[in-house]
Chain A
Amino acid sequence: MADGFDIRRIDRRFIFVLIFVAVAWPLIQPMRLPIDVSPPVQGIYDAIEAVPAGSIVMLGGDYSPDSMPELQPMVETFVRHAFSKDLRVVIACLWPASPPLVERVTTPLAAEFGKEYGVDYVNLGYMAGGIVTLLGMGASIPNTFPTDYGGTPVGEIPLMQEVEDFDDIAIVMEVSAGTPGTREWVQQVQSRFGVTLASGVTAVSAPNFYPYIQSGQLVGLLGGLKGAAEYETLVGAPGDATKGMDAQSIVHALIVLFIILGNVTYFATRRRQAPAS
């Protein structure tokens, strides 16, 4: 291959440029490639659809700004789904950075759906302790979160008058980027208190949680941007995740092409370099 074209000698910056174009171009010129809904995402949608109007659902927001591109669309779609079905939402966070991120979603959506803070939804904010906090919530949510994110005692919040423990929660949607997160919710809450649990996680961690679907511990799972886009499709509110799926698909196709090209070149080179028998 000394004289011919060798793909292994391509400047890797050429690949970076291709990836850049493959991401930017579909964002500027959307192709609207079809988004198929997978059973784990359908499971979440069906579980929330089955909850009667007026019920209380919980959103566990356990993420930080670095995972926002993947997880914020999930939070937004879940809150939109809940508000559109007249479900009341209690938000509880085990990560200190989460409460303001969730509030960026709830405030505009509450205005859009005409929901009132304290009556239709409440942000209990962050509580330190991880799994200890989860166990405390199993005994008493008001005792574990004595005030909301703004410092108002929960005793003065109308919605919290109807919430004592997980028995009052129809379904928990846990959106998590790490620890404490989905695994802790499964181990400490779902298994002990029998809560109906759904989850949205980053793509990197998604394979770790699929066994929980088969065992019935999770009713469904949103894995990364793809899961969020599928959920947006089901709820009928295409957002950032849906917009990003064209770029995601094109880049994946490009990477697959690189892998095939790399392997073909590798085997071709090895064959040429092998000593003649």
Chain B
Amino acid sequence: MNWVQMLFNGPPGTPPSVVWGYWVAAILTISIYSFLFKDNPLYKFAESLFVGVGAGYWVCLLYHETIVPKLLQPLFFPVEGESIAWLRIFPGILAIFMLLRFYPKLGWLSRWALAFIVGMYSAVNITGFAQGDFVTQIHATITTPLSSGGTLAIILNVAAILGVIAVLTYFFFSKEHKGALGGVAKVGIWFLMVAFGASFGYTVMGRVSLLIGRMTFLLRDWLHLIE
């Protein structure tokens, strides 16, 4: 099978729908990247299509993955041998309340649903954050300096403690940053800059990875130029 046949028929055994799916995806990918040259109708079309298809995809996904199996089926079509899950009426009612935002006269009811979500999530999250993040991280910062093996590890742990102190000093606004306090705050800025730099570096890596993913799709799945 030569390259042109591969391009239009795919590897042996590939269903035509898959091949044409690759073509559509490739054309849309190129249309999106064409914006890098300059704004153009192809890009606008692909962007609008993406927004529309994306919204439709999530609506369908949430309907079939959440509303049907978690609400409608347990209420109206329970699995054989299981009783009707009456309690699910309450989240169902709250969900309807949320939609009443579109009906001004009863829009205030949506606040009940929001209040429930905010209250419940706050309660669960605060304990989890306090236990799993806040206290544990402070504990780890205090206790790890000399507990880890190796000179380099100890140096890095001490640097981490100095960094925490310096950055916290930078965010201490009750006294003017002058003299020793100003010096420590300046060190804090340096630590923050290093952290932002690392974060930016990882962001670049992430974006390049996505480009590599698209390029791999174009060169391998669509053009069959690489294995």
Q: Compute the total of residue contacts between A and B using a CB distance below 8 Å.
A: 132
Q: Does A34 contact B (CB under 8 A)?
A: no
Q: Does A202 contact B (CB under 8 A)?
A: yes
Q: Beyond A192-B131, A203-B205: 11 further Cβ-contacts under 8 Å? A: A69-B216, A96-B61, A126-B66, A131-B121, A147-B69, A192-B132, A214-B144, A215-B137, A244-B216, A251-B208, A251-B211
User: What is the CA–CA distance of A125 and B215 in the complex, to the nearest angstrom?
Assistant: 30
Instruction: Determine if B205 and A187 form an interchain contact, defined as CB atoms under 8 angstroms apart.
Output: no
Partner of B160, one of A127, A132, A214, A216: A214
A–B pairs, 30, beta carbons within 8 Å: A13-B37, A24-B219, A27-B212, A27-B215, A27-B226, A28-B226, A69-B214, A96-B62, A96-B65, A97-B61, A147-B69, A153-B79, A187-B129, A188-B132, A192-B128, A192-B131, A203-B206, A207-B195, A211-B137, A214-B160, A215-B140, A215-B144, A217-B132, A223-B202, A224-B209, A225-B212, A243-B216, A244-B209, A247-B212, A248-B208
What per-residue 1/0 map shows which CB atoms of B60-102 lie under 8 Å from chain A?
0110011001100000000100000000000000000000000
Most buried by A among B37, B61, B160, B208: B208
B208 nearest CB across to chain A (Å): 5
Interface set, chain B 20-77, CB cutoff 8 A to A: 36-37, 61-62, 65-66, 69-70
Q: Does A170 contact B (CB under 8 A)?
A: no
Partner of B212, one of A69, A153, A215: A69
Q: Please count how many residues in chain B sit with their CB below 8 Å of the partner chain's CB atoms.
A: 45
User: What is the CA–CA distance of A211 and B132 in the complex, to the nearest angstrom?
Assistant: 12
A173 nearest CB across to chain B (Å): 18
Q: Does B210 contact A (CB under 8 A)?
A: yes
Q: Does B118 contact A (CB under 8 A)?
A: no
What per-residue 1/0 map shows which CB atoms of A131-148 lie under 8 Å from chain B?
110010000000000110
The B interface, classified by DSSP as helix, strand, loop or mixed, is helix
The A interface, classified by DSSP as helix, strand, loop or mixed, is helix
What per-residue 1/0 map shows which CB atoms of B126-166 lie under 8 Å from chain A?
00110111001101100010000000000001001000000
> A residues engaging B (CB < 8 A)?
13, 16, 19, 23-24, 27-28, 66, 68-70, 96-97, 125-128, 131-132, 135, 146-147, 151, 153, 183-184, 186-188, 190-192, 202-204, 206-207, 211, 214-217, 223-226, 240, 243-244, 247-248, 251-252, 255
Residue of A nearest to B138 (CB): A215
Residue of A nearest to B195 (CB): A207
Instruction: Determine if B206 and A70 form an interchain contact, defined as CB atoms under 8 angstroms apart.
Output: yes
Instruction: Determine if A186 and B133 form an interchain contact, defined as CB atoms under 8 angstroms apart.
Output: yes
B33 nearest CB across to chain A (Å): 9
CB-CB under 8 A from B140, the residues of chain A are 211, 214-216
Instruction: Determine if A23 and B125 form an interchain contact, defined as CB atoms under 8 angstroms apart.
Output: no
Given known contacts A13-B37, A96-B61, A215-B140, A23 and B132 CB-to-CB distance under 8 angstroms: no
